[in-house]
Every structure is written in C-alpha cells, then in structure tokens.
C-alpha cells in the first residue's frame, strides 16, 4: 500500500509517498481503508524526530483517519462490520491507504459528515473532551480559555464548550482569526499580539478570571495562565510549543486553590481511549449524529502533497483543520 513516509528527520521536504506492507490487524482491531487523515501539530514534531510513536505503534505519521472498514478482528465487539464508515483515533499510521485501529478508538461516521470532515474529528474533539470535561470537570455557567483559538484544538473547543453552556474566551494571533473565532461562537477573542493576554482576560471577566484554561504553549504562558485563573481554577497543559520550563508562584496556587494537570492523549492505553470515546459519544453523540458538531476545515490537500500541508501548519496560516486526502 502507499503511505507518506519520512526519509529521515527534517523539514517538510523529507515527506515522500512510498510503498509499505499492509498492517496486519490484531483480534481486537478493525482495518480501515483510509480516505482522509487529519494533520496535527504532533505530526510535525514526529517528522522532525522529536515525538516518536508509542512502543508497538506504526512508525507512519498520523493520529486520526476516516474511511471504510475492510476487515474486522475476531475479538471486536458487536456492531462493527465490513463496509461501515469509520473515523478513528490512532497512535500512528494515519498517513497511509490502510490503518489498523483498536475498535474502542473508532466511531461510526454520521451520514451528515464527509470523510474529510470525519478525519478532522477524533484527535482534536477527543482531546478537548478529555481535558476540559473529564479532567478539569468544566460545567455549565463556567468560563473556559483556549490558547490558539484558530488551531484544530481551538476550533473544536469552541462548539463543544458552547454546546455545554460554557462561556468561551480564546486567544489568537491576528484580528482576522479573532473575528473568525467569534463567528464560530467564541464569546471573547483576544489578539495576544496586542498585549499581555492575562490583563485582557481579567478585564473581560470583571477581574474574576476563568475557571479552566487549555494550554498548548507551555513555559512562556505559565505566569499569564496562573494570573488568568479564578479561585479554584484549573490549568490543563497539553503542549510545550514555547518552552518546557518556567517559574511557578506556588503561593498563588495554594492561596487560590488552583489545580494544574499535565495531559497527553496519544500515549494512553487502548482501554483508556475506549473509555474516552464512549464518554464523548454519551454526551455529544446526538449532536454529532445530527451534524451540529463538525470540524472547521481550512484546506484539503492530496496525500501526495503532504509537504504543503505541513508547511501551512508550521506557518500557522490555517484556521481549523488541514486534511490529507487519499484518492
């Protein structure tokens, strides 16, 4: 089968289409003929040699895909059959014509969604659900702050949080992206290039701060995040795009009863991912089936042109998801 391969760690030009052996499914897996795959920031890190897949996972890049089921393992739970349209969260292997997926990490594609739309759901929507809802326990009437409102994570956070009755504040790097976030449903959008985001957050919350922050930036934002949290606030750190180290005011953490979570999705075992998928579908499955939840698609690119997809993401040109399409 054809797959997008990494010749050696490097820039986007190391991505080449090549031939590899088809994956052999385990008893608890389904085999998907991939029609589309989502592009994520972690894919760039893996291409550069900084984020290897978990032990035993495919070395091929790609953490989410969508297509048709073409084989079903003997230990797969009832409900999956050949011909089903499936979208899946995977630890690796998405940039290929076929992908083996643990059945608990797969979801049926609603009729309202195309393969390209479906491929943009698993990684970002499940990341948002895990961190905002399962870990931080955000509730109706609370306020959430998402850094990178125009990213895949950001554009998934806005509709999920609004559907749950949460007030949404985002940061983004341009006035245009801020306006796009507001059109998507964000209550407040802050251009972080216009000044410190913490001051703007405090101003728009009458000095109270926010209840939950989802942050993929890391060290450079730690002080501002702590300043932006309300009493009892929760900070969920999911990435380190701008620094792995920072000073932490522990007195503020104690005095204001703050909680700090570190979280990744890719490295979790299959059983945990299955629980996350089941909980997500229980809360949001009806909205997904009805087409009320769908990803914001920025661009669909042929898999043969994967370097262009990575180039767009690295330049932060996009608003929403970049999708690779397999013809």
Helices (H), the chain: 41-47, 115-119, 122-128, 152-163, 175-184, 197-204, 222-228, 250-255, 270-289, 306-314
Are 21 and 40 in a shared domain?
yes
Residues 136 and 250 in one domain: yes
Find where tokens 């049926």 sit. Answer: 108
Q: Domain of 174: which CATH number?
A: 3.40.50.720
Do residues 196 and 303 both lie within one domain? no
**Is residue 144 located within the same domain as residue 73?**
no
Residue with tokens 């989410």: 64
Q: Which domain holds residue 306?
A: 2-121+266-325
Average pLDDT over residues 237-247: 92
Are 239 and 144 found together in one domain?
yes
pLDDT at 156: 98
pLDDT digits (tens, 9 = 90+) for 291-300: 999 999 999 9
302/326 Cα distance (integer angstroms): 6
pTM of the entire predicted model: 0.96
pLDDT at residue 327 tops 90: no
Number of neighbouring beta carbons within 10 Å of residue 302? 13
Nearest to 190 by CA among 149, 230, 231: 149
CATH (domain of 25)? 3.90.180.10
Q: Tally the domains of the chain.
A: 2
Q: Are residues 107 and 16 in the same domain?
A: yes
CA distance between the termini of the chain? 12
The pLDDT assigned to 237 comes to 97
Residues 100 and 86 in one domain: yes
Question: Which of these three, 237, 262, 287, is where a domain ends?
Answer: 262
pLDDT tens readout for residues 69-110? 999 999 999 999 999 999 999 999 999 999 999 999 999 999
Asked if residue 110 and residue 17 are part of one domain, the reply reads: yes
Per residue in 14-45, pLDDT (tens digit) is 999 999 999 999 999 999 999 999 999 999 99
Mean pLDDT of the chain: 97
Q: Are residues 72 and 112 in the same domain?
A: yes
Residue with tokens 């522990």: 250
User: Based on the domain organization, do 147 and 236 belong to the same domain?
Assistant: yes
Q: What is the mean pLDDT of residues 304-314?
A: 97
pLDDT in tens, 105-159: 999 999 999 999 999 999 999 999 999 999 999 999 999 999 999 999 999 999 9
Residues 210 and 286 in one domain: no
Return the pLDDT at 242.
87
């Amino acid at each position: 089968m054809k797959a997008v391969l990494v010749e050696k760690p490097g820039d986007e030009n190391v991505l080449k289409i090549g031939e590899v052996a088809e994956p052999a499914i385990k008893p608890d897996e389904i085999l998907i003929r991939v029609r589309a795959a989502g592009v994520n920031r972690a894919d760039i890190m893996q291409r550069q040699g900084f984020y290897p897949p978990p032990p035993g996972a495919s070395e091929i890049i790609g953490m989410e895909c969508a297509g048709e089921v073409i084989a079903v393992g003997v230990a797969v739970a009832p409900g999956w059959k050949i011909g089903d349209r499936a979208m899946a969260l995977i630890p690796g292997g998405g940039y290929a014509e076929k992908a083996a997926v643990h059945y608990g990490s797969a979801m049926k594609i609603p009729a309202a969604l195309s393969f390209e739309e479906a491929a943009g759901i698993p990684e970002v929507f499940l990341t948002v659900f895990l961190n905002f809802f399962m870990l931080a326990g955000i509730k109706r009437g609370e306020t959430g702050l998402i850094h990178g409102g125009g990213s895949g994570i950001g554009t998934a956070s806005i509709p999920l949080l609004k559907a749950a009755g949460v007030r949404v504040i985002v940061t983004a790097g341009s006035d245009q992206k801020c306006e796009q976030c507001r059109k998507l449903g964000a209550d407040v959008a802050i251009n972080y290039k216009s000044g410190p985001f913490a001051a703007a957050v405090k101003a728009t919350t009458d000095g109270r701060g926010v209840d939950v922050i989802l942050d993929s930036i890391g060290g450079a934002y730690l002080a501002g995040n702590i300043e932006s949290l309300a009493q009892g606030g929760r900070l969920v750190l999911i990435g380190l795009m701008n620094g792995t180290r920072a000073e932490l005011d522990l007195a503020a953490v104690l005095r204001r009863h703050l909680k700090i979570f570190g979280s990744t999705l890719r490295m979790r075992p299959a059983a945990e991912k299955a629980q996350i998928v089941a909980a997500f579908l229980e809360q949001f499955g009806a909205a997904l089936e009805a087409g009320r939840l769908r990803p914001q698609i920025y661009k669909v690119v042929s898999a043969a042109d994967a370097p262009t997809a990575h180039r767009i993401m690295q330049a932060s040109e996009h608003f929403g998801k970049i999708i690779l399409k397999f013809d």
